[in-house]
Structure 1
Amino acid sequence: MPSTPSAPHALGPSAPAPGAGAMIARQAIMDDRQAVVGYELFNRSRTQTGHTAASDVLLVFTALSHAGSEELVGRMLIFVNCTHESLAGGHLELVNPDKVVLEIPPLGHVAAQEVQARLPILAGLRARGFHLAFGHQVLESAYAPWLPLADYIKLDMAVLAPDQLAVLVSYAGRHSQARLIAEKIETAQQYDMVSSLGVRLFQGYLFSRPTLVEARLLSPSQASIVQLLNLVRSQAPTSEIEEALKKDAGLAFNLMRLINSAGLGLTREITSFRQAVLLLGLKKLFRWAALLLTVARSGGTPPAVGQTAVVRGRLMELLAREFMSPEQADQAFVIGVFSMLDQMLGMPLEPALSLLHLPDELAAALLRRDNAYGQLLTLAEACESSDDSRFDQAAQSLRLSSQQINLAHLQALAWADQMTQG
């Protein structure tokens, strides 16, 4: 999301920044009657270096929040590529899983232990209602634990020979309930061949090339997001939250896009902010706004600040899960993000925090490093600065091993990279 100049100390309404474009491509997935059953989405936004930002689960959040999935996919299934690091991301809580197919990549170096280790996350996503799609590699014996979770298996026509296809289709039919999709079909001969094997879903240039859709988005001001966070945190009446949304066109636009998207699975269009707030719920609204704050930067704040805040929050959340309740882990995420509020808002931390009226326990963690939250924050800061002494002291006090911390840090870095791309 582009930065939005704003007065950091003000809490009143401000004019939204001009709309900016985020390029999303879609490619149809067809059935044997040539009817579209879904679209695979690709992130085609360009980074500053000119490279294409990686497609990821965040694309779902971007598509639903900023473009409205009705414009992109209608009521069809959304197929989106993911990374294993992003699958536990909190942004997945913002969408109804019923229409989302997560495309799970194979592991770089297949090891039975690693396949087994990722099984609980995949099983949990499917239990929540997400559909899972895998490449043809899932039919290899090493991936046997994943195969029962497959709703779709993609067969890559660019790399599979006809005799391989026949074996894989037969094996999939005997050992899974998955629907097969032949992808990268470029010729009628390829289509006829896979059809004769019993494949009934198809994707490729023979049917359609990816088409670009420019998602227009408005950037809310930092001040408006802070005000919204404050209202949600204090469980203000819906009428007050509604008024805050009305004062910032970017905030209102993004929320209504999200709430009216097919991804939330609503049967009728929501036309009022009151309905939107009630349907989304305060917990989801708070996380959504907290993530927006990390990318709605003031003009002079470097982009790295927002990314560091997301890494810090995610790292603290992952570590908190080792010994805290899920609700407390959510609080740890918030503390990590807000620990850089001084840099995001361009003012000292204490007055910045006073804008949010946080509970004493959270404020104590941020200002004095008191309690377990404060120790987690100290540990996160030590990871950033490579301060071995502080790292060892904080890890020991929290009874966390170096292996636990390093793994969580790598996961947090990968997740934050996806959150701040594009």
Structure 2
Amino acid sequence: MIPGKKLSTNEMTRLQLLAELSQSNVEPARIASIIQTDPSLSYRLFRYINSAGTGLVQKVSTPKRAIDMLGLVRTKQWLRSVLLADLNPTPKAGELAYMAVHRAKFLESVCQHSVRETSEPDTLFMVGLFSLLDSMLGLPMDTIVSMLPLEEPVVQGLRGEGEIADLLRLAMSYERGEWGGIGSRLKRFGLESLQAELMYVQARSWTQKMLGYNAAEPVAA
């Protein structure tokens, strides 16, 4: 951490947009306007939705049409992921952004398949997505959450409190290969080991596609 560090204009803008997209009542028109005013975002959205595997017969050429085709939830996930990846252009931050998006998707999947109603899947997605912002921005997590209008379950998870934080620790155990604590956590949430491993692998593939990686490109573990 860097005492007294100030965010750049780009970092602040991206962080504000991430905060706006974290709200449950964000309108599709607002999402379309964010994309339309950034040529890079527009290009990457079109490349993503028109890529092989999206199942579309016709090309998509407007953000509004892309949102209609992808759906609001999927579009928000894509936009939040690429905004996070754009926060800091350094290679190290890029690796952290990849890891955060991977965490987000894995935690969302765990939430969807767990026997315990810990929280909403989108809440777990946001916790995973924001969980490395302190390392990416060089600021304490308490400072970051104070800057963002996040719902209380997300804040608690990012501060290491409650069951959401325990799920976050599950994802971190997979990343670090700390197999000793994984079994008990999986059992607590009613998940089988092979089931969780499959979700972890599927989350990695989803992340690569979401961030525009080619299969042959090296990415963070």
What TM-score results when the alignment is normalised by the length of structure 1?
Answer: 0.39
1:288 aligned onto 2:78: yes
- The one-letter code of the counterpart of 2:105 is R
Q: Indicate how the Cα distance of structure 1 residues 409 and 237 shifts in structure 2: closer, same or farther if over 3 A, else same.
A: closer
Q: Distance in 2 between matches of 1:404 and 1:342?
A: 30
SS in 1 for 2:123: helix
Structure 1 match to 2:197: 406
Contact 1:9–1:223 (Cα < 8 Å) also in 2: yes
Q: Which residue number in structure 1 is paired with residue 217 of structure 2?
A: none
Residue range with higher mean Cα deviation, 343-352 or 237-246: 237-246
TM-fit CA distance, 1:348: 2.1
Contact kept, 8 Å, 1:341 with 1:353, in 2: the verdict is no
Alignment check: 8 A CA contact 2:186 2:192 kept: yes
Map of 1:76-225 to 2, 5 A cutoff?
A: 221-225=10-14
Q: What corresponds to 1:230 in structure 2?
A: 19
Select the residue among 347, 354, 369 that pairs with 2:146.
354
Instruction: Tell which structure's C-alpha radius of gyration is larger.
Output: 1
Q: Map Cα deviations across residues 300-338 of structure 1 (whole Å, 9 max, x no partner).
A: 35132122223222221222221268x922332232122
Q: Give the aligned residue type for 1:364.
A: Q
Worse-superposed segment, 296-305 or 374-383: 296-305
Runs of 4+ residues over 4 Å off in structure 1: 236-249, 252-255, 257-267, 275-282, 417-420
Which structure 2 segments of 5+ residues have no match? 215-221
**Take 1:332 and 1:394, find their aligned partners in 2: how far apart are those partners?**
16
What is the CA–CA distance in structure 1 between the aligned matches of 2:107 and 2:47, rounded to whole Å? 27
2:159 aligned counterpart, secondary structure: helix
Q: Which has the higher contact order (CA 8 A, sep 6+)?
A: 2
Q: Does structure 1 conserve the Cα–Cα contact (< 8 Å) formed by 2:102 and 2:207?
A: yes
Q: CA deviation at 1:359?
A: 0.7
Find out whether 1:311 has 2:102 as its counterpart.
yes
**How much does 1:293 deviate?**
3.0
- Aligned pairs (5 A) from 1:202-281: 221-234=10-23, 235-236=25-26, 248-251=38-41, 254=44, 257=46, 263=56, 270=62, 279=68
2:187 partner letter: Q
Q: Is the 8 A contact 1:313 1:337 kept in 2?
A: yes
Structure 1 residues 418 and 247, CA gap change in structure 2 (3 angstroms): closer
Gaps of 5+ in 1: 1-6, 13-220
Q: Is the 8 A contact 2:110 2:199 kept in 1?
A: yes
* Separation of aligned partners in 2, 1:8 and 1:301: 20
Count matched residues.
200
1:384 match: 175
Deviation at 1:363, TM superposition (A): 1.3
Hey, which of these two has a bigger chunk of strand by percent?
A: 1
Q: Deviations for 1:362-400, whole angstroms, at most 9, x for unmatched residues?
A: 1111212313x2221111111122234432442232232
| Counterpart residue type for residue 300 of structure 1 | T
In structure 2, what is the Cα distance between the partners aligned to 1:232 and 1:261? 23
* Structure having the larger proportion of residues in helix: 2
Q: Map of 1:15-34 to 2, 5 A cutoff?
A: none
